[in-house]
Structure 1
Amino acid sequence: MQEEHYSRIGSKLRISIENLYKHNEHILNQIEKGLREEEIKAPVVGYQGVAGSFGEEAAITYFASKASQFKAYEEFEDIFRALKEGSIDYGVVPIENSSAGEIVDIYDLMKTYELYIVGEQIIRIRHNLLGLKGTKLEEISEVYSHPQALSQSKEFLKEHKQMIPKAYVNTAMATQFVAEVKEKSKAAIGSRRAAQLYGLEILVKDIHFNQNNFTRFVILGKAMQIGEGCDKISIVFNTAHESGALYNILGHFAYNGLNLLKIHSRPLQDKTWEYFFFADLEGNLQDANVLIALGKVKEHTKYFKILGNYEQAN
């Protein structure tokens, strides 16, 4: 391997790098590119939903005064497509909720599109029942919101059996819909800000059953952005369909002292009972033990990709 293959990676990787990565140059090339990438100044940032959505809140919180423009998209895939085409510089999408679990659509889109995670933001989710001013609870027969919000408010809805849950694309879009139809029989589950934006009243606050309710959003970019502060790595891989295959893969993390934070499976569309595995682990791609582990994982997987190296959100 020539010097230019790891010229910018730093002294940490010089230990045995010739032998460890003589067949894995593409991993080094990915890291080289990520080390050269810098955060875009005054970026255009996309999120799903409308003003008042939790996606907008995550985007505003993460980028604060950095973003020059925030753009709303109706579907998650619209964000991926816009980022791939260059209409936006970053995309902000939810990937999991502490109460309801993973947003599986995002995992499938991450596999489909050649994009990278460059950051994450955690937002505390507070769901409120929103309706027209003066509406009484017994007048409500339909409640609109995102399926995750309905799931997180299921205990409240069980207590009010006349309220039929109606799935909607987004919590803020559901709030907007209820405000537009102007029928007291219809209510929405959404945020305090959405209620203010669309002129609805908070009929009951904090109706989610888990008061420690958080959603993790990931920040997507067209390339990795690796810095010294990056301490979380996301990867996706596919193992051989045989006994012990996954166990052996996970062993490489343990042998190299890496803390596995999470693993999640998604089915292969063209093969029955076979899966892609998405994993998060602690580490920085400039550390030799991380690259040793990932190099070994790649050797023993049918498919392998680094999805990003970024700073963990508190």
Structure 2
Amino acid sequence: MEENNYKGIREQLKVSIENLYMGDLQILDAIEKGLQYKPKQMPQVGYQGVIGSFSEDAATRYFKDQDASYTRYDEFEEVFEALVRGEIDYGVLPIENSYTGEVLEVYDLIGHYNLYIVGEEIVRVTHHLAGVQGSKIEEIEEVYSHPQALGQCKQYLRQYPYIQSIPYANTAMAAQYIEQLDNKHKAAICSEKAANLYNLSILQRGINTKSNNYTRFIILSKTMQILPECDKVSIAFTTKHESGALYHILAHFAYNGLNLLKIQSRPMKDKSWHYYFFVDLEGHLEDANMLIALGKVSKESEYFSILGGYRQSKKVTY
């Protein structure tokens, strides 16, 4: 008798969840396809930067147990475009740093392209000041690096007000550029690996302001991929431009006992003072409370998309 009642309750819950999603069956279809995913053999992986970049480090760490091949791209958007064209199976991109915050360009590209987050990797970042062989700190007039790296080393650079900070596409690409220039008055902020690869001398080690400096990278794919160990869900939505709209949406997470890990807003390009909201939640897309909450959010949003369900990167403790 108890067993029959239990099955009845489960069936009622299933019907309730399906009713919540009745207006957006594409969401259920995407989740279903994600649950049927089979790991890809010998994947093609793309990242932004050159050999020696932190993006390459994140890619090789994440796919270390697979026979993956790697392709580098100069720009973030080139990685997205390669995924859409099917040139690569996965793209690895930085999404946020523990000190300087979000990589906003990547958030904007996620909002523009119809891709899914299928994993993440956290990399510890240590920056060094590197110049050509024989150069000295006192001689440096210009330093090149990614804007995030320059921001993470701002306190150190303040000691040298005469050094001009020049943004560059990538830390390792900056190191490569300094090697090509072969100018003792120019330097790069990069990793030790990049300095060694491009024959640069490390002029000062560990110049980032915070020693516990980490960057979170996301792994993107054309298809949703949901495994049993997935414990994180990312979504994007827009709200009605009225009082309390965001509050009511966020309340659904609290009512269903979901831990909200992060929320980020980005302006919509075609509507002034309207915003996309990107939210990370703890949980699995097969969990009933997750589906109920997302069903409610979907109905109350002007735009709604599940960006993916994936396993959180291991907590870094060192």
TM-score (norm 1): 0.94
Q: What's the counterpart of residue 4 of structure 1?
A: none
Q: How many pairs were matched up?
A: 305
Q: What's the counterpart of residue 277 of structure 1?
A: 277
In structure 2, relative to structure 1, the CA distance for the partners of 1:52 and 1:18 (3 Å cut) is: closer
In structure 2, relative to structure 1, the CA distance for the partners of 1:51 and 1:11 (3 Å cut) is: farther
In structure 2, relative to structure 1, the CA distance for the partners of 1:18 and 1:274 (3 Å cut) is: closer
What SS does structure 2 have at the residue aligned with 1:306?
Answer: strand
Q: Distance in 2 between matches of 1:21 and 1:274?
A: 25
Q: State whether residues 152 and 210 of structure 2, in contact with CA within 8 Å, keep that contact through their aligned partners in structure 1.
A: yes
Residues 28-73 of structure 1: CA deviation (Å, up to 9, x unaligned): 1111011111221110100001000000000000001414311000
Q: Distance in 2 between matches of 1:79 and 1:64?
A: 20
Q: Distance in 2 between matches of 1:43 and 1:13?
A: 38
What SS does structure 1 have at the residue aligned with 2:162?
Answer: coil
What SS does structure 2 have at the residue aligned with 1:277?
Answer: strand
Shift of 1:16: 3.3
Q: State whether residues 49 and 73 of structure 1, in contact with CA within 8 Å, keep that contact through their aligned partners in structure 2.
A: yes
Residues 268-310 of structure 1: CA deviation (Å, up to 9, x unaligned): 1111111010000001000110000000001100000000000
Identity of aligned residues (%): 56
Q: Distance in 1 between matches of 2:286 and 2:60?
A: 30
Q: What's the counterpart of residue 235 of structure 1?
A: 235
Q: What's the counterpart of residue 7 of structure 1?
A: none
Alignment of 1:173-192 (within 5 A): 173-192=173-192
Q: What's the counterpart of residue 167 of structure 2?
A: 167
Q: State whether residues 259 and 282 of structure 1, in contact with CA within 8 Å, keep that contact through their aligned partners in structure 2.
A: yes
Q: Distance in 1 between matches of 2:12 and 2:291?
A: 10
Equivalent AA in structure 2 for residue 106 of structure 1:
V
Q: What's the counterpart of residue 288 of structure 1?
A: 288
Q: What's the counterpart of residue 87 of structure 1?
A: 87
Q: What's the counterpart of residue 22 of structure 1?
A: 22
Q: What's the counterpart of residue 101 of structure 2?
A: 101
What SS does structure 2 have at the residue aligned with 1:270?
Answer: coil
Shift of 1:19: 3.5
Q: Distance in 2 between matches of 1:121 and 1:201?
A: 29
Equivalent AA in structure 1 for residue 257 of structure 2:
G
Q: Distance in 2 between matches of 1:160 and 1:149?
A: 16
Runs of 4+ in 1 over 4 A off after TM superposition: 10-13
Residues 219-255 of structure 1: CA deviation (Å, up to 9, x unaligned): 0011111111100000000000010000000000000
Confirm whether residue 56 of structure 1 aligns to residue 56 of structure 2. yes
Alignment of 1:11-160 (within 5 A): 14=14, 16-160=16-160
Unaligned runs of at least 5 residues, structure 1: 1-9
Equivalent AA in structure 2 for residue 125 of structure 1:
V
Shift of 1:127: 0.3
What SS does structure 1 have at the residue aligned with 2:158?
Answer: helix
Q: Distance in 2 between matches of 1:164 and 1:12?
A: 65
* Greater CA drift, 132-141 or 47-56: 132-141
Q: State whether residues 226 and 310 of structure 1, in contact with CA within 8 Å, keep that contact through their aligned partners in structure 2.
A: yes
Equivalent AA in structure 2 for residue 61 of structure 1:
R
Q: Distance in 2 between matches of 1:18 and 1:186?
A: 61
Shift of 1:144: 0.4
Q: Distance in 2 between matches of 1:63 and 1:211?
A: 26
Q: Distance in 1 between matches of 2:31 and 2:240?
A: 26
Q: What's the counterpart of residue 207 of structure 2?
A: 207
What SS does structure 2 have at the residue aligned with 1:16?
Answer: helix
Residues 92-140 of structure 1: CA deviation (Å, up to 9, x unaligned): 0000000110001111111111110000000000000001122111100
In structure 2, relative to structure 1, the CA distance for the partners of 1:275 and 1:142 (3 Å cut) is: same
Q: State whether residues 175 and 194 of structure 2, in contact with CA within 8 Å, keep that contact through their aligned partners in structure 1.
A: yes
Equivalent AA in structure 2 for residue 131 of structure 1:
G
In structure 2, relative to structure 1, the CA distance for the partners of 1:13 and 1:196 (3 Å cut) is: farther
CA-based RMSD: 1.5
In structure 2, relative to structure 1, the CA distance for the partners of 1:174 and 1:12 (3 Å cut) is: farther
Shift of 1:18: 4.3
Shift of 1:13: 6.6
Q: State whether residues 12 and 287 of structure 1, in contact with CA within 8 Å, keep that contact through their aligned partners in structure 2.
A: no
Confirm whether residue 222 of structure 1 aligns to residue 212 of structure 2. no
What SS does structure 2 have at the residue aligned with 1:34?
Answer: helix
Shift of 1:27: 1.9
What SS does structure 2 have at the residue aligned with 1:159?
Answer: coil
Confirm whether residue 257 of structure 1 aligns to residue 257 of structure 2. yes
TM-score (norm 2): 0.93
Q: State whether residues 84 and 222 of structure 2, in contact with CA within 8 Å, keep that contact through their aligned partners in structure 1.
A: yes
Q: Distance in 2 between matches of 1:15 and 1:258?
A: 21
Unaligned runs of at least 5 residues, structure 2: 1-9
Q: State whether residues 13 and 287 of structure 1, in contact with CA within 8 Å, keep that contact through their aligned partners in structure 2.
A: no
Shift of 1:160: 1.0
Equivalent AA in structure 1 for residue 216 of structure 2:
R
